[in-house]
């Protein structure tokens, strides 16, 4: 199959989706792998393309909250307030849904489903024109770093999907926050951190928002994507390193004759650049740049030739957006830290 780059030619992309094809679309977080969420055979193609276990639930992308309401069994009392404040945006909401309102392949067999309204003008227009809810897991091979550009999608999935809607570089770079609203009698709980932080939610809601720290084993069915113990991993082994330990780690692995790659801020790279084979510097010292560059940096260093033996990635403080960055990094590194 030839994979077409739809340069915002949405009529062709819409037609492909209506015919049950798989089309990648841009969002502000990462690129998604779109298919009609109401078409079981189309959704199964998404799992086949990604090589993803079919017990893993998918996020359903919509163009407004009215599109979600027919699926919801019991609406959480805070749902409207959250939607009004944070949609469109990098926030996925989990609701208890009406039995058989979505195919089991979308929900992973659970009684809940996840919904998001992405903050990207091209994809919002795609959703409006299609008038279909679209599943949209990250458009990459399952378990590998998520794609933040159409080039990343093409690299992973050329010949496997019908097309890619071009939408430029993803601005956030890590997947959406997932917030569990499935039990209207319980406070909201973050299942996956993202750019909408605990602090932001609490400021809007005026109450404590919980965070689920549970790491899902391979044998378990996660309630939301990205909850597995290991995820987002390139082929090259990854290890976390605290900024204070970076120089020591570089010297240690240098003595062991490792071909080493390092991902860090510009000032941190300046300290060690003469002692490693290759580096990937974030745009600046801020965690926003680290989050935006994490997946693209992992991909770039993973493709070095000859192959690297190890990629060292600096840690950030585990708060605010740093919580989302560290969540992805810990899984990419299979929890290993120097």
Say if residue 299 carries a ligand binding annotation. Answer: no
The three-class DSSP label of residue 256 is coil
Q: Is 248 annotated as a binding residue?
A: no
* 56 carries a ligand binding annotation: yes
Classify residue 38 as left (phi > 0), alpha (psi -120 to 50) or beta: alpha
Confirm whether residue 197 is marked as ligand binding: no
Strands 177-180 and 91-96: parallel
SS3 assignment, position 178: strand
Q: Is 128 annotated as a binding residue?
A: no
- What is the C-alpha to C-alpha distance for residues 153 and 124, in angstroms, rounded to an integer? 19
Give the count of beta carbons closer than 10 Å to the beta carbon of residue 37: 27
Residue 29 labeled ligand binder: yes
Q: What's the rounded Cα separation, in Å, for the pair 229 and 215?
A: 5
User: Is 146 annotated in some ligand binding site?
Assistant: yes
Contact assessment for residue 26 and residue 139, using Cβ atoms and an 8 Å cutoff: no
54 CB contacts (<8 Å, ≥6 apart)? 44, 47, 105, 108
Dist CA 329 CA 315 (whole Å): 8
Query: Does the annotation flag 328 for ligand binding?
Result: no
Residues annotated within a binding site: 29, 52, 56, 61, 112, 116, 138, 146, 176, 192, 232
Residues annotated within a binding site for L-threonine: 29, 61, 116, 176
Residues annotated within a binding site for ATP: 52, 56, 112, 138, 146, 192, 232
């Amino acid at each position: 199959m030839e994979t077409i780059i739809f340069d915002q030619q949405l009529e062709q992309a819409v037609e492909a989706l209506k015919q049950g094809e798989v089309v990648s679309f841009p969002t502000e977080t990462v690129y998604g792998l779109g298919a009609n969420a109401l078409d079981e055979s189309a959704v199964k193609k998404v799992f086949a393309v990604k090589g993803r276990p079919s017990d893993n639930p998918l996020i359903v992308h919509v163009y407004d909250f009215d599109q979600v309401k027919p699926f919801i069994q019991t609406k959480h009392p805070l749902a409207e307030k959250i939607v009004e404040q944070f949609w469109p945006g990098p926030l996925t909401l989990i609701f208890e849904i009406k039995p058989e309102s979505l195919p089991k392949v979308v929900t992973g067999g659970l009684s809940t489903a996840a919904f998001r309204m992405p903050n990207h003008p091209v994809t919002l227009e795609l959703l409006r024109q299609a008038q279909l809810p679209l599943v949209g897991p990250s458009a990459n091979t399952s378990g590998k770093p998520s794609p933040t550009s159409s080039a990343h999608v093409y690299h992973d999935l050329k010949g496997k999907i019908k097309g890619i809607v071009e939408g430029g570089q993803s601005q956030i770079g890590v997947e959406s926050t997932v917030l569990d609203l499935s039990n209207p009698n319980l406070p909201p709980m973050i299942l996956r951190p993202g750019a909408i932080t605990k602090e932001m939610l609490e400021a809007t809601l005026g109450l404590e928002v919980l965070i689920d720290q549970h790491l899902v084993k391979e044998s378990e069915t996660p309630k939301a994507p990205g909850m597995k113990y290991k995820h987002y991993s390139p082929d090259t082994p990854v290890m976390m390193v605290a900024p204070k330990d970076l120089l020591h780690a570089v010297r240690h692995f240098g003595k062991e004759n490792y071909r080493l790659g390092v991902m860090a801020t510009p000032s941190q790279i300046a300290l060690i650049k003469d002692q490693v084979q290759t580096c990937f510097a974030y745009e600046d010292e801020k965690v926003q740049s680290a989050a935006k560059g994490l997946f693209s940096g992992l991909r770039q260093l993973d493709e070095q030739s000859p192959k690297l033996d190890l990629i060292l990635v600096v840690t950030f403080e585990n708060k605010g957006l740093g919580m989302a960055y560290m969540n992805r990094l810990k899984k990419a590194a299979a929890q290993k830290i120097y």
